[in-house]
């Protein structure tokens, strides 16, 4: 088969609706293309709870074997468990997951040997090899690719490491002793692990959405749909709640008053805690362009510098690695602790934030309230017929005017989407009415610029 591959790498691997352009021959070909570019002849593969996961994971393994790799299965495990195995054992890894997407989608994430996501050069090399041969209908049977007998075994080493890290961070074996928590596992890969780890650290834990059936992953639950968790935390009088996404690399939290706490809030709590203890290398936190102005001000108030990266935890990790910093992340709940992990880890993030709040005698929600005053944020996705990047360039004068108007009390971000034919307009200002007015003006400017560049 010749021609371009039907799929391309996005900000976090390859993702599409399973059974359409993402089918077994395509995934098999992707595995074969990737085998030579992962930095290790040994690859561990995990997956989330989607119905299509077992067949796609086996197809990926078949392709990797066809490319010369030796492959083993970790079974259903969170993405950070795969990255942990890669880091500890020095092997490469892959995860069959579509993260927070609906059950009918799926995708592939790769980790190079040691647990880092593929850099641009390796990703480009995989894409080129895949483009050259985008389908593989048959391959050898990977006899070693058998799920663990005990479904928890694939993530056991990672779970044990989290317990050890939480105990070390909290100065004792039960740093969450006395806390009442509710966790929402999104009917995903965190379901067998989250409550057990938190209980081992001393917390009293109730669980929501931990009965995956292949089709209920992320369905009205988890980090993208936390309403059930908010209701449950308030009704139970719990101290906090944690909601994960389908593959467990991101988390959002809920305070004891039901307030939603996102990645920015959790980074504020953890960043200030690490800084106060002299553990924030370089006195800097890496955030993406989407992080709220309230986080930036909270960190600045505590003498912490902010380094800004493009959207995507891969870019955050690149900054952490380049400068030796230890904390960075995204508003969505992808938070990376470089001293302990090589990728976002929702459970690790929740543990560290809870321990940090405990250290100063506050609930998690109370600690966020101490630190962060969020700027209202207005978001618009404006459909464009032409090239989004050209549209943004044409808006230079309007962007400069909006930025000057808001000054230090606000922020403007206008960027072309990497996945859709839209230009995303974001305006933050501590004056909500002003934010809305500026956003409306920029939406109109986007439409004018699109009309001019498309004509």
| The pair of three-digit structure tokens given for residue 150, joined into one six-digit string | 């005990």
For range 130-154, the mean pLDDT: 90
Place of tokens 């699109």: 450
- Give the pLDDT of residue 131: 95
User: With contact defined as beta carbons under 8 Å apart, do 423 and 446 qualify?
Assistant: yes
- Give the pLDDT of residue 311: 83
Gap between the Cα atoms of 309 and 327, Å rounded: 13
Which tens digit of pLDDT belongs to each residue from 236-286?
Answer: 999 999 999 999 999 999 999 999 999 999 999 999 999 999 999 999 999
Angle of CA points 136, 140, 143, to nearest 5°: 135
> What CATH number has the domain spanning 377-454?
3.30.310.50
The structure's pTM equals 0.92
- Give the pLDDT of residue 6: 67
- Give the pLDDT of residue 419: 67
User: With contact defined as beta carbons under 8 Å apart, do 234 and 178 qualify?
Assistant: no
Helix, coil or strand: residue 129: helix
Are both 155-371 and 377-454 of the same fold? no
> What CATH number has the domain spanning 14-147?
3.40.120.10
From 3.40.120.10, 1.10.3720.10, 3.40.50.10330, 3.40.1390.10, which CATH number describes the 155-371 domain?
3.40.120.10
Gap between the Cα atoms of 43 and 40, Å rounded: 7
Which tens digit of pLDDT belongs to each residue from 179-203?
Answer: 999 999 999 999 999 999 999 999 9
For range 380-398, the mean pLDDT: 95
At 330, the pLDDT band (50, 70, 90 cuts) reads very high
- For the chain, the domains span 14-147, 155-371, 377-454
Which tens digit of pLDDT belongs to each residue from 63-118?
Answer: 999 999 999 999 999 999 999 999 999 999 999 999 999 999 999 999 999 999 99
For range 147-162, the mean pLDDT: 96
Decide if pLDDT at 418 tops 90: no
| The pair of three-digit structure tokens given for residue 383, joined into one six-digit string | 């459909």
At 313, the pLDDT band (50, 70, 90 cuts) reads confident
Whether 70 is a known active-site residue: answer no
- Give the pLDDT of residue 139: 76
- Give the pLDDT of residue 2: 36
pLDDT cut 90: percent of the chain above it? 91
Catalytic residue (one of 40, 99, 135, 223): 99
């Amino acid at each position: 088969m010749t021609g371009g591959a039907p799929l391309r790498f996005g900000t976090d691997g390859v993702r599409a609706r399973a059974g359409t352009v993402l089918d077994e021959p395509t995934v098999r070909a992707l595995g074969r293309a990737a085998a030579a570019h992962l930095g290790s002849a040994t690859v561990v593969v995990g997956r989330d709870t989607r119905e299509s996961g077992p067949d796609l994971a086996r197809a990926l393994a078949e392709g990797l074997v066809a490319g010369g790799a030796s492959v083993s299965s970790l079974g259903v495990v969170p993405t950070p468990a795969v990255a942990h195995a890669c880091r500890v054992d020095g092997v490469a890894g892959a995860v069959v997951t579509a993260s927070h997407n609906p059950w009918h989608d799926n995708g592939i994430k790769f980790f190079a040997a040691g647990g880092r996501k593929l850099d641009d050069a390796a990703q480009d090399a995989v894409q080129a090899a895949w483009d050259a041969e985008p389908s593989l209908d048959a391959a050898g049977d990977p006899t070693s690719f058998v799920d663990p007998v005990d479904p928890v075994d694939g993530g056991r080493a990672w779970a044990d490491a989290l317990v050890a890290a939480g105990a070390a961070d909290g100065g004792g074996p039960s740093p969450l002793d006395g806390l009442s928590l509710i966790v929402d596992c999104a009917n995903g890969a965190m379901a067998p692990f989250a409550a057990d780890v938190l209980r081992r650290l001393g917390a009293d834990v109730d669980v929501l959405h931990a009965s995956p059936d292949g089709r209920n992953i992320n369905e009205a639950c988890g980090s993208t749909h936390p309403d059930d968790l908010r209701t449950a935390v308030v009704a139970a009088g719990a101290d906090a709640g944690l909601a994960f996404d389908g593959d467990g690399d991101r988390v959002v939290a809920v305070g004891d008053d039901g307030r939603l706490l996102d990645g920015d809030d959790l980074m504020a709590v953890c960043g200030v805690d690490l800084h106060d203890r002299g553990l924030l290398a370089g006195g800097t936190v890496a955030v993406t362009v989407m992080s709220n102005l309230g986080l930036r001000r909270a960190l600045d108030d505590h003498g912490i510098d902010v380094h800004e990266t493009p959207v995507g935890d891969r870019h955050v990790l690149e900054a952490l690695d380049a400068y030796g910093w230890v904390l960075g992340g995204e508003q969505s709940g992808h938070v990376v602790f470089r001293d302990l992990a090589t990728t976002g880890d929702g459970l690790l993030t929740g543990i560290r934030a809870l321990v940090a709040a405990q250290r100063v005698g506050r609930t998690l929600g109370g600690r966020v309230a101490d630190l962060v005053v969020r700027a209202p944020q207005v978001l618009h996705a404006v459909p464009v017929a032409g090239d989004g990047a050209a549209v943004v360039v044409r808006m230079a004068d309007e962007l400069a005017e909006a930025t000057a108007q808001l000054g230090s009390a606000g922020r403007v971000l206008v960027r072309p989407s990497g996945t859709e034919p839209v230009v995303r307009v974001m305006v933050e200002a501590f004056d909500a009415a002003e934010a809305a007015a500026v956003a409306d003006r920029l939406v109109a400017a986007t439409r004018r610029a699109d009309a001019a560049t498309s004509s």
